[in-house]
Structure 1
Amino acid sequence: MNLTDWVARFASLRVLVIGEAMLDSYLGGSVGRVCREAPVPIVALNERNDMPGGAANTAVAVAALGARCAFLSVVGADEAGVILAEKLADAGVDTDALLAAPGRETIVKQRISARGQLLLRLDRGSEGAVPELIERRLIEAISRAWSGADAVIVSDYGYGICTDRVIAAVAQLQRRSPRVLVADAKDLGHWAGAGLSAAKPNYAEAIALLGLGAVEGIDRVEQIVAAREILAARTGAQLLAVTLDTSGAVLLEPGCEPYRTFTSPAPDSHAAGAGDTFTAAFACALAAGAHSANAADIAAAAAAACVATAGTTTCTAEMLHERVAGEAKLAGPASVAAQVAAWRAAGKRIVFTNGCFDILHHGHISYLNRAKALGDVLIVGLNSDASVRALKGPRRPINPEGDRAAVLAALGCVDLVVLFEEATPARLIEAIRPDLFVKGGDYTIATLPEAPLVQRLGGEVKLLDFLDDRSTTSIIDRIRASYDAPQVAEL
């Protein structure tokens, strides 16, 4: 099955989301004067947009992805609580277990901006533990809904919804009737005994659990991978997906090599809700039966769609299908220059590689992930069918160019796939002018035909080793040997 098949299964899922309900309120206006009392701008407000935030945004993200979602939380018996409940219902979220507690104030986060520039954020609302009576009703609601759920997402911001008794109740239900249980919590240590299927800390939460200082860039990946066993022990999770802001995410699973997903850097104003969307898509993919790496790629694609615009936004099932199908990553030689110009204007480091990629295997995946880690954008030049036949003979390729391009485009590490007809990608290199040209195999820079061209255009050349015993030719040979060998009937 490919990534689109897993996404198609989302519509059959029922997902519970437990955690803090918040209202994100965006107030916009114009600035024409400075206040006399202090050197601050006077904002004349002229628009307001209210959206579910916190765990409520995770619930909206689940519903937008096509799954049926029930949200279990507590709000205040106030106007903000009513607005939030209406927004959730409009998004298709089941709010039967959204409890209103008298005397409690709904958490509201107001962002004030002028001409697209964020100026101020104001937070208000109750952050203490919910009253005992409301707590009992919440636990009863979770118990009733558990048996019908395919997945349960905990989004715990530490604002009093996920109390010790709520966590204990979830742990007991998980022991009796295991579900795909994914936690995104400010302090995952509180959930270490809950039987988590997966945990999704962000980088700040992960290093807080580990007691480590912050580092930047690729050092973050190395830091988290080095501490993977400690992190697993302190969260109790079978699977860890640590999001690393502009460095993407790293997936850690016992007995497996770390798996990275990648993202395109986005302004902070675009990043609100991306983590919630990642968690929602990750949990849905795992519940649909996807392998952990496939689930991470799906989650990364959903988060990338979420950060494409400013504010708290969601990724719809249609948007996700388009991204994982790779339709947005396919380009022709004529259009690639404009896309590269836009990336370069944004300060991105362009990495280019090329090949036939006839039967995609582990060696290819490892190679492409390492190539992407050397820059911001990875462009793959793909030999057309005619080009492959000219290079490798009339029996190749095994897979046609459309299939090969779609599989490459579905990889999280690949940003663009461009077909070329010639024996070499020289014309494509001239159009792209990569900052770095990466090639694998037994070449040296002296024997690599494209090296002089790349260097003349101001780029660098780097050679990466392929994994031993991983090649399309060896796979084809093993298949042929298997089918050519005499078949022995079973007795």
Structure 2
Amino acid sequence: MKHEFPEFHQARVAVIGDLMLDRFYFGKASRISPEAPVPVVNVDRLEDVPGGAGNVAMNIASLGATCNLTGVSGLDEAATVLKQRLHSVGVNCLFHQSRDAGTIIKSRIVSNHQQLLRMDFEERFKPELATEMQSLAEQVTNNAKVMVLSDYNKGTLSEPQFWIDTAKQKDIQVLVDPKGSDFTRYRGADLITPNMTEFEAVAGKIESEGDLISKAQTLIKQLDIKAILITRSEHGMTLIRADQPEFHLPAIAKEVADVTGAGDTVISTLASALAAGQDLEYAVTLANVAASIVVSKLGTSTVSGPELKTEYERHQGLNNTDHSFCGAVTIEQLKIAVEQAKQRGEKVVFTNGCFDILHAGHVSYLQQARAQGDRLIVAINTDESVTKLKGEGRPINTAERRLTVLAGLADVDWVTCFQGDTPEDLLRYIQPDILVKGGDYDKKGVVGWEIVEGYGGEVKVMGLVENCSTTAIVNKIHQGR
């Protein structure tokens, strides 16, 4: 199904959660203190940005949506700065301010793009402050389509059930960024977004993809919620819903500068897309793209609507389709993807190799391979296997980098890394329809041919571009030194 990019300006989102001020001191550290063995930072710039629930609100506003924000703060300079920053991007601030509490401040000292020290100024808010804040419920939920509970375990959401019940009475969807090991506090929410560590703290150690799905389904029933979106760092994110197939999105390969606030970006994009009338799977797809953008930035960052649209269209253009399960995947994720593709009647093609330095021969060969079916899998050797096959000094590029490059090719649907020197175990496990290799030999020279033909698959040998090989390229580089 083809989707139109959301009209974010039509979206209205309510955010309730822990307010924080992220304060950054930037400067050069060129000497060690004579008083102690610590660097001396000559601060030349101070930057204040909203953090916690404030960062969620900033992301929502940056996308172009309307946001009402409430949380507990002090009656102090930090709260004033927070309001100024939030008002500047159009966030409607409805703070519950107290003279007896201080606004949470997280100060960081940064030099040469490295964080040297973080200082936290905070005390957990008393439960009565969270209760008093409930008087703002009518104002903060006015015309909202989606509510976000941004819980950082600082006391603002000591009674999340009040907010969930309020939302239900108004037919407002509730998304929760949870904290702690007691998710029963969020019973009845529409969606919770734990990361893998948070999920395992509640559900137990995850042993496999099947175990992940099973435990998530159990939690959905126990909590009477509709869905769980688990963010999994380099393994992307997985959406699990009651009685529906899991929906997995591999991480979009990017150079990671800072993961600060990535979870806030995910839930804010989800909320904004849903409030703009989009379905959940498309909202999750957009959130995955937004997360890839924000981790490439330093510090607590936001993603704008045009920025997201550009990156989304670029990413979709690389894959040429509107499907979601593509890119670098684990073996178990690949198994699920292949099964789903076959259920749709698609023919799955498989090839493998080292793919150390991608060249014109590789690109031509992969185009030929993809033309044999509907989906193309590229399985690469581990670094240890490449060294064993090609000798010391190889691979030139690590497995992670090779996966990234191959995942960016238009003809490649899924790329994975297999253990061992041959892909025979992987072929038995996923059973692709067609096994393709390049060379000038017959099919019986292809490793795994008997496995594939044994279950009824096909084996094909493609031609290679002459005078084009990784080894020749490496040798030419060495000769030019």
| TM tier, smaller | 0.5 to 0.7
- 5 Å-filtered alignment, 1:86-485, equals 86-95=84-93, 97-129=94-126, 131-132=128-129, 135-136=131-132, 138-164=133-159, 167-187=160-180, 189=182, 192=185, 194-210=187-203, 212-213=204-205, 221-264=209-252, 269-326=257-314, 330=318, 363=344, 415-418=407-410, 441-444=432-435, 448-450=436-438
Q: Distance in 2 between matches of 1:114 and 1:232?
A: 44
Q: In structure 2, what residue type is equivalent to 1:69?
A: C
Aligned residues: 385
Q: In structure 2, what residue type is equivalent to 1:316?
A: S
Q: Distance in 2 between matches of 1:461 and 1:301?
A: 36
Q: In structure 2, what residue type is equivalent to 1:307?
A: V
Tell me the CA shift for residue 178 of structure 1. Answer: 2.1
Q: Distance in 1 between matches of 2:347 and 2:301?
A: 32
Tell me the CA shift for residue 293 of structure 1. Answer: 2.1
Q: Distance in 2 between matches of 1:182 and 1:56?
A: 16
Q: In structure 1, what residue type is equivalent to 2:154?
A: Y
Q: Distance in 1 between matches of 2:450 and 2:303?
A: 37
Whether the 8 Å contact between 1:192 and 1:236 is mirrored in structure 2 is no
Whether the 8 Å contact between 1:77 and 1:100 is mirrored in structure 2 is yes
Q: Distance in 2 between matches of 1:310 and 1:16?
A: 27
Whether the 8 Å contact between 1:206 and 1:231 is mirrored in structure 2 is no
Instruction: Tell me the equivalent position of 2:79.
Output: 81
Q: Distance in 2 between matches of 1:30 and 1:366?
A: 57
Q: Deviations over 1:426-481 (max 9, x none)?
A: xxxxxxxxx9999985324xxx253679xxxxxx999999xxxxxxxxxxxxxxxx
Q: In structure 2, what residue type is equivalent to 1:2?
A: K
| RMSD over aligned Cα atoms | 4.5
Q: Deviations over 1:46-105 (max 9, x none)?
A: 11111111111001111111110111112111111111111111122111x123211211
Q: Indicate how the Cα distance of structure 1 residues 8 and 156 shifts in structure 2: closer, same or farther if over 3 A, else same.
A: same
Q: Distance in 2 between matches of 1:296 and 1:365?
A: 24
Q: In structure 2, what residue type is equivalent to 1:135?
A: T
1:2 equivalenced with 2:2 (yes/no)? yes
Tell me the CA shift for residue 157 of structure 1. Answer: 1.0
Q: Distance in 2 between matches of 1:13 and 1:463?
A: 56
Whether the 8 Å contact between 2:217 and 2:240 is mirrored in structure 1 is no
Over the matched positions of the two proteins, sequence identity in percent amounts to 23
Q: Deviations over 1:104-139 (max 9, x none)?
A: 11111111121111111111123222544x732x21
Query: What stretches of structure 1 of length at least 5 have no aligned partner?
Result: 333-347, 354-359, 393-412, 421-434, 454-459, 466-491
Whether the 8 Å contact between 1:451 and 1:461 is mirrored in structure 2 is no
Q: Indicate how the Cα distance of structure 1 residues 391 and 203 shifts in structure 2: closer, same or farther if over 3 A, else same.
A: closer
Q: What SS does the corresponding residue of 2:194 show, helix, strand or coil?
A: coil
Of 49, 52, 58, the residue aligned with 1:51 is: 49
1:67 equivalenced with 2:60 (yes/no)? no
Tell me the CA shift for residue 331 of structure 1. Answer: 10
Q: In structure 1, what residue type is equivalent to 2:300?
A: T
Whether the 8 Å contact between 2:255 and 2:296 is mirrored in structure 1 is no
TM-score by length of 1: 0.67
Q: Indicate how the Cα distance of structure 1 residues 28 and 232 shifts in structure 2: closer, same or farther if over 3 A, else same.
A: same
Q: In structure 1, what residue type is equivalent to 2:131?
A: E
Query: What stretches of structure 2 of length at least 5 have no aligned partner?
Result: 321-327, 335-340, 374-404, 413-421, 442-446, 453-481
Whether the 8 Å contact between 1:174 and 1:194 is mirrored in structure 2 is no
Q: What SS does the corresponding residue of 2:167 show, helix, strand or coil?
A: helix
Q: Distance in 2 between matches of 1:268 and 1:419?
A: 25
Q: Distance in 1 between matches of 2:55 and 2:223?
A: 23
Q: Indicate how the Cα distance of structure 1 residues 440 and 286 shifts in structure 2: closer, same or farther if over 3 A, else same.
A: farther
